């Protein structure tokens, strides 16, 4: 199975250690989403923009670990999307974004610009 990551799970980011057993398939950008910063990590929500990230091949154990990390407390929900590498899971932010910083470029690596 595959997963699209766009923030702290990306290569050389704060939570990339969760992806140790994953195989990077390549970069990907998804349209019709916007990226916000609720803190030290991003949240993608449906909107008028593009979010940039990476697609990985993962196993069931890694998906279970990521679900525990991301979906606990209802902050994110996993959604199936289409990528050039095949269908992939994506964690979509579920909380209101009013008052959060919009990452206009859609790239978490640009968050401090």
CATH number for position 70: 3.10.490.10
CB atoms within 10 A of CB 93: 23
User: Could you report the per-residue pLDDT of 40-62, keeping only the tens digit for each?
Assistant: 889 999 999 999 999 999 999 99
What is the number of domains present in the chain? Answer: 1
Asked whether residue 33 is domain-assigned, the answer is: yes
CB atoms within 10 A of CB 10: 22
| Domain span at 41 | 2-106
> Which H or E run includes 37?
strand 23-37
**Structural tokens at position 81:** 């999307």
Nearest to 4 by CA among 60, 21, 75, 22: 22
Asked whether residue 54 is domain-assigned, the answer is: yes
pLDDT value, residue 111: 86
**Structural tokens at position 110:** 């640009």
Asked whether residue 113 is domain-assigned, the answer is: no
- Please give the backbone phi and psi of residue 34, each rounded to the nearest 5 degrees, phi first: -125, 155
**Structural tokens at position 99:** 């008052």
pLDDT value, residue 79: 97
pLDDT value, residue 92: 98
Asked whether residue 75 is domain-assigned, the answer is: yes
Asked whether residue 111 is domain-assigned, the answer is: no
Q: Per residue of the chain (113 residues), what is the pLDDT tens digit? A: 999 999 888 988 877 888 888 999 999 999 999 999 988 889 999 999 999 999 999 999 999 999 998 888 889 999 999 999 999 999 999 999 999 999 999 999 988 87
């Amino acid at each position: 199975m595959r997963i699209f990551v766009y923030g702290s799970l990306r290569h050389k980011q704060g939570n990339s250690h969760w992806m140790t057993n994953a195989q990077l398939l390549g970069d990907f950008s998804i349209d019709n989403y916007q990226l916000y910063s609720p803190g030290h990590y991003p949240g993608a929500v449906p909107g008028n923009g593009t979010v940039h990230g990476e697609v990985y091949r993962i196993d069931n154990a890694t998906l279970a670990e990521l679900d525990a990390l991301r979906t606990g407390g209802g902050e994110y929900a996993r959604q199936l999307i289409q990528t050039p590498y095949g269908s992939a899971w994506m964690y979509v932010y579920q909380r209101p974004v009013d008052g959060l910083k919009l990452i206009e470029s859609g790239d978490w690596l640009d968050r401090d610009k």
